[in-house]
């Protein structure tokens, strides 16, 4: 599918005003304006992202009462069980809360994470029965799940369990009757950052608990040090869960990644060692998203996520290294399974006439691993640019995982087609669902028809939004370092995309990488020459012959090798000048978050 380039509009006077007021380069000022930041003070605050600007946990609905209950349980020496989700968000949040309670003096603190395949997502009744039997008079705290567990909360009450729910997922029609609900978007909430991930919600509870063991306003020194160190895990979860990296989330990720790079915890250090990121000068959201997070996720996808919690909470470096090695092997296995399912799914779509004319991609098959279908759905979205649901068919219950395209609320779409589903949950960008095998064809047809009816032509068109057109000579080391002050990047603060026109390919491009799928080349514009790498763009080598004139869309980056630092372009797309699509569409208006 061809990709349309959409170039953002710009106001030269506004750019110059912000550049002077915030003391940044005009290019960085333009990038800030594109992100909805037009006031100099706001721009300075955005660039600094001070840790002191984090919201006080007391402003998060339910946190104060939840912390009071936890403190009472610790002082009464009651058992406390943290019930987490099996993804990176749940694993990191569980690890933070467990370590906090141990440091606060809890002697009977345990964690439980359900098996993805055997138990499925969220709180389940059978697990609650086991926990009630194993830990009498226990306090159960959910992490990254529970806001839709209406029946399960009632069951917990019957079993004599005290239940605190901490979650961030979309709230349904009915709230669970837990003893306390902690959620940034509870009805009536005025919490400034409603887009916290589950681990961040758990961190806020941990923070409030730590304050209770200080002077009530601030945590004691050793607990305060713990909270700062634990920001690394919260940052990983924030990146992995793809929540907007704006407001408080941006501060968490900025300081959390810096903390990991400077002094990683024992478990993270072991994980960084197996991913080759231990010696990097800085940790980026890309390192987390494509290196660290998939290995933690692999535990929950193919085995038990509790092993990952063990790695992240241990002080034993040897044990952490062993578990990190296991997770690395699991991730390699996950990649093999994923590639196989993606190929099968693509063949199904081809056999059904392709994606043209379809509103959605819905595929399912027996034998597909439920732990991998979410990643497969993401791959199919990249390929077909349609809302996608991948279902692992089974005898009794079929598990599905869904991913969306920009600007389309997936959760609401599934809700509109939810008659006959056993369960569903999630948010606008990603969701999970359960159904019987008999219901699968009906649901697939209904969901596709719904998407066809509501998706616009523009939404169905694959496009990339370009921040600014530049001359390659503008991209000096100092300018690119200035651009990197906009990090961390993610949803809500995308990595800047730049456009350069009328550039020439200098010399013969090289296909590189273990799988021969990347492209290494140089571009020339006037007398200025610059290196570029095209990740996954090896197929473009045939077009990019020496001296070919083209337009390129790219991220600027700094490549470090043997102590040398130089600017490098990371290509996103290339159009050889003869192609009709080489001219970008100039946008009349553009949303700040696009």
pLDDT tens per residue, range 14-60 = 999 999 999 999 999 999 999 999 999 999 999 999 999 999 999 99
Report whether pLDDT(139) > 60: yes
Percent of the chain with pLDDT strictly greater than 90: 81
375-398 average pLDDT score: 94
Q: Are 1 and 462 in contact (CB under 8 A)?
A: yes
pLDDT tens per residue, range 493-551 = 999 999 999 999 999 999 998 889 999 999 999 999 999 999 989 989 889 999 999 99
Q: pLDDT-derived band of residue 428, with 50, 70 and 90 as boundaries?
A: confident
358-381 average pLDDT score: 94
Cis (ω within 30 of 0) for the bond into 166? no
> Tokens 């001219």 correspond to what residue?
583
Check residue 591 and give its pLDDT.
42
Which helix (H) or strand (E) segment is 98 a member of? Answer: helix 88-103
Q: pLDDT-derived band of residue 203, with 50, 70 and 90 as boundaries?
A: very high
Check residue 581 and give its pLDDT.
46
Tell me how far apart the alpha carbons of residues 462 and 61 are, in angstroms, rounded to a whole number: 39
DSSP letter assigned to residue 507: E
Report whether pLDDT(590) > 90: no
Rg (CA), the chain: 25
Which residues are paired to 528 by β-bridges?
Answer: 525
Average pLDDT over all residues of the chain:
92
Decide which of 215 and 312 is more confident.
312
Check residue 419 and give its pLDDT.
95
Report whether pLDDT(594) > 60: no
Close Cβ partners of 357 (under 8 Å, ≥ 6 residues apart): none
pLDDT tens per residue, range 313-341 = 999 999 999 999 999 999 999 999 999 99
102-107 average pLDDT score: 94
CA 452 to chain CA mean position, Å: 27
Listed residue (228, 249, 225, 229) closest to 237, CA to CA: 249
Alpha carbons within 13 angstroms on the beta-carbon side of residue 36 total: 10
Please tell me the least confidently modeled range out of 136-150, 300-314, 369-383, 570-584: 570-584
Q: What is the CATH number of domain 4-9+464-586?
A: 2.40.50.460
Report whether pLDDT(191) > 70: yes
Torsion over CA: 63, 66, 72, 74 (sign): negative
Tell me how far apart the alpha carbons of residues 407 and 352 are, in angstroms, rounded to a whole number: 26
Tell me how far apart the alpha carbons of residues 168 and 583 are, in angstroms, rounded to a whole number: 42
Report whether pLDDT(427) > 90: no
Q: Are 88 and 291 in contact (CB under 8 A)?
A: no
Check residue 580 and give its pLDDT.
43
Listed residue (535, 538, 577, 537) closest to 557, CA to CA: 535
Beta-carbon count within 10 A of 414 CB: 23
* Sheet hosting strand 463-466, strand order edge to edge: 463-466, 4-7, 585-586
Check residue 281 and give its pLDDT.
76
Query: Which DSSP string do the residues of 552-585 spell out, in sequence order?
Result: EEEEEEEEEETTEEEEEEEEEEEEETTSGGGSPE
Tell me how far apart the alpha carbons of residues 180 and 161 are, in angstroms, rounded to a whole number: 12
Check residue 221 and give its pLDDT.
85
Tell me how far apart the alpha carbons of residues 45 and 43 are, in angstroms, rounded to a whole number: 5
Check residue 453 and give its pLDDT.
95
Report whether pLDDT(267) > 90: yes
Tell me how far apart the alpha carbons of residues 9 and 484 are, in angstroms, rounded to a whole number: 22
Cα–Cα distance list, 416 to 304, 401, 451 (Å)? 33, 16, 10
Report whether pLDDT(552) > 60: yes
Q: pLDDT-derived band of residue 280, with 50, 70 and 90 as boundaries?
A: confident
Beta-carbon count within 10 A of 347 CB: 11
Please tell me the least confidently modeled range out of 235-239, 286-290, 501-505, 575-579: 575-579
- Provide the residue ranges of all domains of the chain, joining segments of one domain with +: 4-9+464-586, 53-326, 352-460
pLDDT tens per residue, range 461-487 = 888 999 999 999 999 999 999 999 999
Check residue 247 and give its pLDDT.
92
Tell me how far apart the alpha carbons of residues 360 and 347 are, in angstroms, rounded to a whole number: 16
**CATH classification of 53-326 is 3.90.1640.30, yes or no?**
yes
pLDDT tens per residue, range 152-178 = 999 999 999 999 999 999 898 899 999
Report whether pLDDT(249) > 80: yes
412-436 average pLDDT score: 92
Fold of 352-460: Diaminopimelate Epimerase; Chain A, domain 1 (3.10.310)
Report whether pLDDT(592) > 90: no
Query: Which DSSP string do the residues of 212-269 spell out, in sequence order?
Result: HTTTSSS--HHHHHHHHHHHHHHHHHHHHTT---SHHHHHHHHHHHHHHHHS--HHHH
Which helix (H) or strand (E) segment is 508 a member of? Answer: strand 498-512
Check residue 579 and give its pLDDT.
46
285-306 average pLDDT score: 89
Percent of the chain with pLDDT strictly greater than 70: 97
The SS3 of residue 385 is: coil
Q: Record the tokens describing residue 245, joined without a space.
A: 């990296």
């Amino acid at each position: 599918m061809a990709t349309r380039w959409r170039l953002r509009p710009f106001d030269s006077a506004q750019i110059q005003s912000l550049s002077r007021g915030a003391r940044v380069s005009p290019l960085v000022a333009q990038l800030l304006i594109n992100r909805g930041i037009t006031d100099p003070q706001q721009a300075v605050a955005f660039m600094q992202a001070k840790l002191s600007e984090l919201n006080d946990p007391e402003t998060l609905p339910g946190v104060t009462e939840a912390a009071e209950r936890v403190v009472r349980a610790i002082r009464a020496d009651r058992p406390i069980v943290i019930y987490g989700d099996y993804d990176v968000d749940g694993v990191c949040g569980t690890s933070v809360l467990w370590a906090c309670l141990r440091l606060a003096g809890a002697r009977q603190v345990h964690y439980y994470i359900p098996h993805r395949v055997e138990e499925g997502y969220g709180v389940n009744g059978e697990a609650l029965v086991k926990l009630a039997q194993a830990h009498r008079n226990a306090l159960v705290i959910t992490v990254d799940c529970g806001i839709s567990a209406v029946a399960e909360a009632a069951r917990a009450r019957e079993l004599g369990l005290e239940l605190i729910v901490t979650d961030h997922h979309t709230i349904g029609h009915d709230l669970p009757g837990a003893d306390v609900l902690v959620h940034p978007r509870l009805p009536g909430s005025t919490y400034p950052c409603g887009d916290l991930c589950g681990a961040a919600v758990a961190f806020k509870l941990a923070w409030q608990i730590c304050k209770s063991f200080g002077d009530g306003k601030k945590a004691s020194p050793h607990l305060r040090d713990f909270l700062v160190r634990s920001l690394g895990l919260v940052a990983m979860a924030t990146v992995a869960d793809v929540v907007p990296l704006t407001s408080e989330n941006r501060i968490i990720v900025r300081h959390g990644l810096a903390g990991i790079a400077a002094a990683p915890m024992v478990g993270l250090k072991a994980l960084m060692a197996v991913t080759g990121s231990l010696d990097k000068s800085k940790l980026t959201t890309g390192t987390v998203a494509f290196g660290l997070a998939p290995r933690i996720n692999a535990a929950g996808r193919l085995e038990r996520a509790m092993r990952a919690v063990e790695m992240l909470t241990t002080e034993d470096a040897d044990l952490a290294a062993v578990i990190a090695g296991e997770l690395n092997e699991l991730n390699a296995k996950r990649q093999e399974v994923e590639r196989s399912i993606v190929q099968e799914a693509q063949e199904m779509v081809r056999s059904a006439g392709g994606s043209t004319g379809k509103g959605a991609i819905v595929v399912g098959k027996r034998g597909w691993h439920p732990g991998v279908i979410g990643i497969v759905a993401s791959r199919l979205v990249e390929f077909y640019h349609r809302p996608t649901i991948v279902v692992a068919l089974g005898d009794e219950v079929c598990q599905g995982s869904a991913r969306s395209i920009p600007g389309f609320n997936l959760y609401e779409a599934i809700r509109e087609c939810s008659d006959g589903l056993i369960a569903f949950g999630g948010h606008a960008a990603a969701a999970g669902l359960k159904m019987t095998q008999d219901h699968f064809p009906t649901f697939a047809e209904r969901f596709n028809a719904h998407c066809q009816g509501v998706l616009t032509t523009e939404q169905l068109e694959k496009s990339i939004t370009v921040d600014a057109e530049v001359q390659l000579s503008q991209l000096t080391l100092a300018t690119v370092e200035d651009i990197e002050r906009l990090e961390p990047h993610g949803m809500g603060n995308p990595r800047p995309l730049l456009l350069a026109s009328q550039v020439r390919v200098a010399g013969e491009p090289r296909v590189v990488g273990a799988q021969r799928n990347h492209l290494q080349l140089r571009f020339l514009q006037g007398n200025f020459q610059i290196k570029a790498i095209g990740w996954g763009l090896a197929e473009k080598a045939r077009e990019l012959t020496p001296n070919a004139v083209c337009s390129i869309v790219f991220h600027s980056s700094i490549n470090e090798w043997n102590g040398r630092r130089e600017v490098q372009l990371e290509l996103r797309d290339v159009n050889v000048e003869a192609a009709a699509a080489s001219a970008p569409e100039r946008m009349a208006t553009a949303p700040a978050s696009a």
